[in-house]
Amino acid sequence: MKTLFLIRHAKSSWNHPDLKDIDRPLNERGLANAPSMAQRATTQWTTPGLVLSSPARRAKDTVNLMKPLWFPNQDIVIEKTLYEGSPSEVLDLISFTDDVFESVALFFHNPTITFLNHMLTGSAAFEFPTCGMSNLQFEGKSWGGLEVSTCSQIDFDYPKKRANPKGPCG
């Protein structure tokens, strides 16, 4: 069995119109939410064996804020596909992951994360809120067997979940 964590970057700032999209930082809410969500993950989920991040500043800032609390001993691998890739390209990236890793965390963006979660679970699509985190399980022994509708959604958490237990759209 393999575990896949899909994490959308925390809330970013739009206060710098001169910055390229890839260079946008987190805003105050994002800076607060990322460590809080990492703490939740630490108490509810396993530690990922491999951590991949989009090269976008907001994704890298999110992963670096979560690292000390959730996966302090893991290196972070920057993966361009997580910024520019389609859901199918991200699925291909995951499927080529070394099987020595039982769990993988990916930090990336909407709408790709929303569509990928839907593809993998076959469940109704819902939009990932910022800093939303999906915990998926794949019954296969090899990442190469990961395909459409082969995962079960074990958990989905996001910053406002405690205030809105009906879900991200409720």
The pLDDT tens digits of the residues spanning 93-145 come to 999 999 999 999 999 999 999 999 999 999 876 789 999 999 999 999 999 99
- 112-121 and 87-95 helices, crossing angle to 10°: 60
Indicate whether 17 belongs to any domain.
yes
- Domain of residue 86 covers 2-157
In a domain, 165, yes or no: no
Q: Do 2 and 140 contact (CB within 8 A), yes or no?
A: yes
Instruction: State how many domains the chain has.
Output: 1
Determine phi and psi for 53, rounding to 5 degrees: -135, 145
Q: Is residue 40 part of a domain?
A: yes
Query: Which of the pair, 99 or 168, is modelled with greater confidence?
Result: 99
The arithmetic mean of pLDDT across residues 72-95, rounded, is 98
CB atoms within 10 A of CB 69: 17
Does 162 reside within a domain?
no
| Confidence bin at 170 (pLDDT 50/70/90) | very low
Q: Under DSSP, is residue 31 helix (H, G, I), strand (E, B) or coil?
A: helix
The radius of gyration computed from the CA coordinates of the chain, to the nearest angstrom, equals 15
Q: How many Å apart are CA 170 and CA 165, to the nearest integer?
A: 8
167 within some domain: no
CATH code, domain with 9: 3.40.50.1240
